[in-house]
Amino acid sequence: MDALPLDLMLNAFITLFVTIDPLGLAPIFLAITSGASKNERLRIAFRSVITAAFILISFALIGQAILSVLGISLGAFRIAGGILLFVIAFEMVFEKRKERKSKSAQKALTDDEIHNIAVFPLAIPLISGPGAISAVLLLSSKSADWVEQGSVLFIIFVVLALVLLMFSLASPVEKLLGSNGRNILTRLLGVLLAALSIQFIVDGVKSIMAG
């Protein structure tokens, strides 16, 4: 047995980094948390990453058993995630989220609101979405012993730490963009998020058809 499964760790890092895409999540986080204060953003960031870590680690350890017991295929999971993500994208493009928030612009986010945003859509399906869960399941299935399994878990923590770092930079970026820049970015990312959600659905349908 090798002292450190470096090939597996490198493969896991590349796979999860590309799948979760910390760099791409940063502007989406900025758009979703529009109107939140710096402290609220930090709380949302921490909660979303911790929630995503719990989800990914759970699937790394017992994911196959969970889906098997519930009778859920990864294809169905992708479709569900895609539909939910499309709803968020629609609100971003047509500023429904901003319209809703304007009614309580002077009010700080409550703990429940912070928790809800952190869980959906950040933790699920943006950070620990169908793609990330599929990648974790695949990497875990390739682990031959507890050392390799531990290496996969370590890489999950590393990638999520990068996500947290990118989220923490959202406020400085917002100051650079200004109000007009933020509105343009929100709509643009809404369109891209809509395309990503459709891709989730297409991948799910393909998976079900192939299965």
pLDDT score, position 104: 38
Q: Is residue 89 part of a domain?
A: yes
Gap between the Cα atoms of 109 and 117, Å rounded = 10
- State the residue range of the domain holding 179: 6-210
Per-residue pLDDT of the chain (211 residues), as tens digits, is 444 567 778 878 888 887 888 877 888 898 888 778 888 999 999 999 999 999 999 999 988 787 778 888 878 877 877 787 787 778 778 866 555 444 433 445 677 788 888 998 899 888 998 878 888 887 887 777 788 888 889 999 999 999 999 999 877 877 777 777 777 877 887 787 788 788 878 888 998 898 7
pLDDT score, position 167: 93
Residue with tokens 């050392």: 147
pLDDT score, position 198: 87
SS3 of 120, please? helix
pLDDT score, position 5: 65
* Distance (Å) of CA 155 to CA 7, 8, 63: 12, 10, 17
Q: Is residue 57 part of a domain?
A: yes
Query: Two tokens at 123?
Result: 């933790």
Q: Is residue 53 part of a domain?
A: yes
Q: Is residue 54 part of a domain?
A: yes
Q: Is residue 1 part of a domain?
A: no
Q: Is residue 13 part of a domain?
A: yes
pLDDT score, position 2: 47
pLDDT score, position 94: 80
Number of structural domains in the chain: 1
pLDDT score, position 96: 61
> Which parts of 106-169 fold into alpha helices (H)?
111-117, 130-141, 146-168
Q: Is residue 33 part of a domain?
A: yes
Exposed, middle or buried by CB within 10 Å (0-12, 13-18, 19+), for 108?
A: exposed
The predicted model scores a pTM of: 0.71
pLDDT score, position 97: 52
Q: How many CB atoms are closer than 10 A to CB 164? A: 18
Q: Is residue 28 part of a domain?
A: yes
pLDDT score, position 178: 74
20, 138 in Cβ contact below 8 A?
Answer: no
